[in-house]
């Protein structure tokens, strides 16, 4: 039970870490890697921005490695929480919002519509300044109001 709470807690904490990283790193000194993500109609399958998936995967992999040595311990479950958040991020951000893969094209869910709207507001700013809506799973309620029944 404790390991499940560690995994869930890590997953939840990752939203805050992602928000801070997006606002202060991606829209700060890491803008070089993130900039192509804000350009409409970027023509390549991969973006420089995809390097951030690797950046977030490295701690998860290290935590898995050290979380099974000398025996299974809490580090493994922290790594699992990061991995699960990364999977959620991929499915929400790349598949559902940006539709880089056409897997969930016909979703009509109010929550997903609100996420999409907030992200669209984020992308209306093509530069690194004046951004808003840096979260991924949690965005201000005002973006959901028009879709909630």
pTM of the complete model: 0.86
Angle between helices 74-89 and 2-20 (to 10 degrees): 50
Q: Mean of the pLDDT values across residues 92-96?
A: 86
Q: Quick: pLDDT tens for 44-77.
A: 678 888 899 898 899 999 999 999 998 999 999 9
Contact call for residues 78 and 6 (beta carbons, < 8 A) = yes
Q: Which residue has the tokens 């969930």?
A: 104
Q: Is the pLDDT of residue 126 over 80?
A: no
Q: Is the pLDDT of residue 94 over 70?
A: yes
Q: Quick: pLDDT tens for 96-120.
A: 888 877 787 777 888 888 888 888 8
Cβ neighbors of 7 (< 8 A, separation 6 or more) are 77, 78, 80, 81, 84
* pLDDT recorded at residue 132: 76
* pLDDT recorded at residue 43: 59
Banded model confidence at residue 129, pLDDT cuts 50, 70, 90: confident
Q: What percent of the chain has pLDDT over 70?
A: 96
Contact call for residues 77 and 7 (beta carbons, < 8 A) = yes
* pLDDT recorded at residue 36: 86
Query: How far is CA 94 from each of CA 19, 37, 49, 88, rounded to the nearest angstrom?
Result: 16, 11, 11, 10
């Amino acid at each position: 039970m404790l390991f499940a709470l560690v995994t869930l807690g890590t997953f939840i904490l990752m939203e805050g870490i992602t928000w801070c990283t997006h606002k202060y790193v991606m829209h700060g000194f890491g803008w070089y890697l993130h900039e192509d993500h804000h350009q409409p109609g970027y023509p390549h399958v991969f973006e420089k921005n995809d390097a951030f998936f690797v950046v977030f995967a490295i701690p998860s992999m290290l935590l898995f490695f050290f979380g099974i040595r000398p025996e299974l311990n809490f580090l493994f479950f922290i790594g699992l929480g990061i991995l699960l958040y990364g999977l959620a991020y991929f499915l929400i951000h790349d598949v559902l919002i940006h539709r880089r893969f056409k897997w969930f094209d016909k979703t009509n869910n109010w929550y997903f519509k609100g996420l999409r709207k907030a992200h669209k507001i984020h992308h209306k700013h093509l530069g690194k300044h004046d951004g808003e809506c840096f979260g991924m799973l949690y965005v201000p309620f005002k973006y959901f109001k028009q879709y909630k029944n």
